[in-house]
Amino acid sequence: MPARTTQTTQTAQAHESSPIVGSTAVPGAVAVAGALVAACHPLPAAAVTLFAAALTAAAGHGPAGTAVTVGAVAAGQLSVGWCNDRADLRRDLAAGRRDKPLVAGTASAVAVTWAAGLALLICVPLSLACGLLAGSVHLLGVAAAWAYNLRLKRTAASWLPYALAFGLLPAFVTLGLPGTSWPPPWLTAAAALLGAGAHFANVLPDIEDDLATGVVGLPQRLGARASAAAAGLLVLGSTATLVVGPPGPVTAYGRLLLVMTTAALLLAARRPTGRLPFLTTMAVAGADVILLVVELRP
């Protein structure tokens, strides 16, 4: 509708030019920091960073190497989260997403733009400090995530940046070790499958709003039920790869993890349009990390 479109455009321009919208007083530094934290997609950012921390420690990095590697991942995740909220501002306004700090007016577009750029600027030297090859691999994954935010989320290839970014994360960790060794193929495959599954699960609650605002990625094209099924199968495939991929017999924990993952995903599939599938994916990823720590200990 033209009137609504004009109103949305005017509101977006106000959000983009105003330092803080929705308050007559300039909030304190704590309020601004809290709004920026909320705008960075804190749950996924924290989950990926913790995953990297566990993987780094299990691979045998020392304290200094672990700190630099985890710092690079954290900076990259922050840049991706802030880039996502900034890129989605107009669509979030049109959808009335008051849960978003930029829409609610607790954070400004200018602040989020600067935060994303600064985090990306910090990510580059931290990544390269882990080694030229390792750093380049990580920066490729971060670039894939930015490409998703800026363009690919609206295409049938929306799953690809997730699979690429997650799949490259183990390589960033192992290539930072002496000898620059690539991770085993089963680990790369498991991480890529988990990333693709996380994409499908993460999109589920927003499919209707996405379609209404022109975001037509692969999950939106498939619909909620098919996407929920795809998320479950991909995450289950990731767990199965972690369980059966390493040499040697399958452990008792691995068998239990497969059973629990299957049960949890079947339960989540009963509510395909809520947050449960995504939260289930995060829980499964945490259980997978425990298995990785056990299997990769030097």
> What six digits make up the tokens of 282?
């995060």
How confident is the model over 180-221, as pLDDT tens digits?
Answer: 789 999 999 999 998 998 898 888 888 888 888 889 999 999
So what's the pLDDT on residue 14? 46
Q: In the chain, count H helices and then E strands.
A: 15, 0
CATH superfamily of 1-182: UbiA prenyltransferase (1.10.357.140)
So what's the pLDDT on residue 44? 87
Amino acid occupying residue 55 = L
So what's the pLDDT on residue 273? 63
- To the question of domain 184-298 being in CATH 1.20.120, the answer is yes
So what's the pLDDT on residue 86? 94
pTM across the whole model: 0.84
Say which residues have a Cβ less than 8 Å from residue 214's Cβ, sequence separation at least 6.
91, 154
C-alpha 74/C-alpha 209 separation (Å) is 29
So what's the pLDDT on residue 204? 84
CB 50, CB 83: distance < 8 Å: no
Q: How far is CA 108 from CA 27, 30, 35, 78, 149, in A?
A: 12, 15, 9, 16, 18
So what's the pLDDT on residue 167? 94
So what's the pLDDT on residue 26? 45
CB 55, CB 292: distance < 8 Å: yes
* In the chain, domain spans: 1-182, 184-298
So what's the pLDDT on residue 180? 73
So what's the pLDDT on residue 4? 43
Spell out, as residue ranges, where the chain has pLDDT lower than 70.
1-28, 268-274, 293-298
So what's the pLDDT on residue 245? 83
So what's the pLDDT on residue 188? 93
So what's the pLDDT on residue 5? 40
